[in-house]
Amino acid sequence: MPDPEHTEPIPTQQPLKGMYSDWFLDYASYVILERAVPHINDGLKPVQRRILHSLKEKDDGRFNKVANIIGHTMQYHPHGDQAIGDALVNMGQKELVVDTQGNWGNVLTGDSAAAPRYIETRLSKFANEVLFNPKTTTWAASYDGRNKEPVSLPAKFPLVLAHGAEGIAVGLACKILPHNFNELIDACISVLRKEEFEIFPDFMQGGIADVSEYNDGLRGGKIRVRAKIERAKARHLIIREIPYGTTASSLCDSILKANEKGKVRVSRLEDCTAEHVEIHVYLPAGVDTDQMLQALYAFTDCEVSISPNACVIQDNKPRFLGVSEILQHSAKQTRALIKQEQEIRLGELEEKWHFSSLEKIFIENRIYRRIEECETWEAVIEEIWIGFKPFLKLLQRKVTEEDIVRLTEIKIKRISKYDAFKADEYIKGIEDQIAETKRNLRNLTKFTIKYYESIKERYGKDRDRRTELNSFDKVEAKQVVVANDTLYVNRKEGMAGWSMKRDEAVEKCSRLDDVIAFSRDGTMRVVKIADKVFIGKDNIVCSVFKRDEPKTYNMIYKDGRGGRAMVKRFQVSGVTRDKLYDLTKGTAGTRVLWLSEHETEEDANIIVRVHLRSDLRLRNFQIDCNFGEIAIKGRGAKGNILTKHPVDRVSRIPKAEQEEIAGSVAEEEPAEEPPKKK
């Protein structure tokens, strides 16, 4: 038997469900923090930060092959080279933090970049100035512990708002739209001055944007962006700028697709895009140019709707912040970083002044001669200390043993060529720099504003707004759709569509319309129009369905095989496509005796004649039904009793005769003759 004192504890068992929950949470956290969402401090995702860090390590002013940069970045980024290459090309196309050389693709045409071995890159002067400072950078070990990488770069510019960002994580997504370089700097200055500001997106593709519902870039907001289209000649349009997220080729594809579906009418399309967008749209004769322009916005990518969702990593967790909050954080962070840099510079200048003063005293007062006869190191240090005692009050801080040791390292050649005048000038220059740095710290906000202004002056040229801000109404598709097709119907087979040209023509239609159809058994359905679609056999009425302009329907039906005749008036508004609606009581054998469709309620005020079957008990064999005396209800109403007697047929009374007929009550039934005596 085993010794109970040395028995190993039995490992606790964890259910698979619990393990899955923990592991999935770890995975979700990793994807959110390390892949998809940018950090608020520098506006970069980890792969972008590691690329820029690698570029800084290899920065010597010359261009580097992108393939080399990708390989170097893999020391820090534990993923494939494809992801690194794509992220680098994306940054290069933004033309801000990296300089490019070679074929880097084209955001206007959608052409991809050349292979990494053919293109070159380096850090831009702007990136070197606003993103890097090893003295203010927090470092961490890389994934394998062999190198150090920045936790976040000390960015003094809202890079995430200039670049934009998009990513899909686990349970959340990020979509920050790009903004104008100069407008971002102006907004940062407004933050420091505590002034009101507004900031809206600006896209490299240009276009016209309606930002009335931007909602500061938060969830629930949206902007609509339109292509800039000019009219060259009659029936000739030229697209000069395209919406964000589209390319010239994808825009042409959307126009051709809409043309095939009959939503727009285009005779020819030419894509001449090179350095600038130029798409020629030729319209056929007889087409209204204004209507076609609106149709392009309604049915193609000439107008797109973009839903922003600003999300950043702050305090090691994702937070949904508006672009104004992100910009305010960047402006305040820039001020704090500049303060930190000035304090570091002040300390370095004071250290320079201290040692230069020590050196001046050491040489001009010939303290170095006191150590000529010293035989031990301790004696050398002691003699220098004794020599400095009369001058200690002239210094701004205490002299340390380190300072003494550093003086002993001065070369004889430097002592022999020492120029007191130059030394005084050098110390005076350091004092001026110290005074300037202290002045900058006292007026930190003004100094930060000057920094922003200098950045704008040096790097803001040729960075004017490209996207025009304007408000425009939403184009309703049904208002601009071209009704250039005809609706045909085969009532017996119950088929309808625009391609059935051998069958009965009903009316003009467009390919966006719905079709409403009524069958003899009292059922109704609404279907999407197509080249050929089933609408129900034994069809009575088939027409284009307009939800916003409901028609009035007059109906008489026989309830069951031997039932009573019912009459109703109704309108059809809200329906579900392809759902079968029963307009009667649903009794087996029900048949519709009369159904008419009218555009307005006045047109529906007609009188029909109901012919009854022969019966010895009947005095009158016909009833005049005035629909104008029946209330209009919903389609679900079962109707009023018209007569209990069998109905042979229903016919419409001529208009001239209707005017002479007095209105009759719909519920009134014909009087029966008294039974004859036997």
Name the CA radius of gyration of the chain, rounded.
42
- Phi and psi at 239, nearest 5°, equal -90, 115
pLDDT block averages, 10 residues each, the chain of length 678? 52 64 74 85 94 95 95 91 94 95 93 95 96 94 92 95 91 92 96 95 95 93 94 90 94 92 87 92 87 89 94 91 96 96 95 90 85 85 86 84 86 86 92 95 96 96 93 71 81 90 89 89 92 91 88 92 90 89 91 91 87 75 86 89 88 73 46 44
- Under 8 Å between Cβ of 560 and 507: no
Question: At a CB cut-off of 8 Å and minimum separation 6, what does 93 contact?
Answer: 104, 105, 107
- pLDDT, position 677: 43
- pLDDT, position 438: 95
In three-state secondary structure terms, 515 is strand
Distances from the Cα of 376 to the Cα of 367, 379, 396, 406, angstroms:
17, 5, 30, 17
DSSP notation for 241-297:
E--TT--HHHHHHHHHHHHHTTSS--SEEEE--SSS--EEEEPPTT--HHHHHHHHH
d(CA 609, CA 626): 9
d(CA 620, CA 672): 9
Closest CA to 304 of 230, 219, 222: 222
- pLDDT, position 678: 39
- Under 8 Å between Cβ of 402 and 357: no
- Under 8 Å between Cβ of 469 and 180: no
DSSP 8-state class, residue 369: G
Which residue's entry shows tokens 């068992």?
A: 13
- pLDDT, position 307: 94
Question: At a CB cut-off of 8 Å and minimum separation 6, what does 440 contact?
Answer: 342, 447
- Under 8 Å between Cβ of 268 and 238: no
In three-state secondary structure terms, 599 is coil
Q: Which two tokens stand for residue 598?
A: 């009218």
- pLDDT, position 673: 46
DSSP notation for 42-64:
T---HHHHHHHHHHHHT-SSS-E
118 flagged as catalytic: yes
- pLDDT, position 11: 54
Domains delineated in the chain: 19-192 (3.90.199.10), 224-304 (3.30.1360.40), 339-459 (1.10.268), 479-660 (no CATH)
Q: Which two tokens stand for residue 467?
A: 């996207």
- What are 53's strand-pairing partners? none
d(CA 181, CA 175): 18
- pLDDT, position 207: 94
20, 27, 118, 143: the active-site residue: 118
d(CA 195, CA 189): 9
Closest CA to 75 of 6, 148, 160: 148
Distances from the Cα of 559 to the Cα of 562, 635, 652, 669, angstroms:
7, 16, 21, 16
Q: Which two tokens stand for residue 528?
A: 């999407």
- pLDDT, position 149: 94
In three-state secondary structure terms, 14 is coil
Closest CA to 627 of 654, 670, 664: 664
- Under 8 Å between Cβ of 76 and 53: yes
Question: At a CB cut-off of 8 Å and minimum separation 6, what does 575 contact?
Answer: 526, 545, 581
- pLDDT, position 672: 45
- pLDDT, position 562: 81
d(CA 73, CA 62): 18
Strand ranges across the sheet with 504-509: 504-509, 485-490, 495-497, 533-534
d(CA 77, CA 299): 43
d(CA 145, CA 437): 38
Which residue's entry shows tokens 């920050």?
A: 176
d(CA 506, CA 609): 26
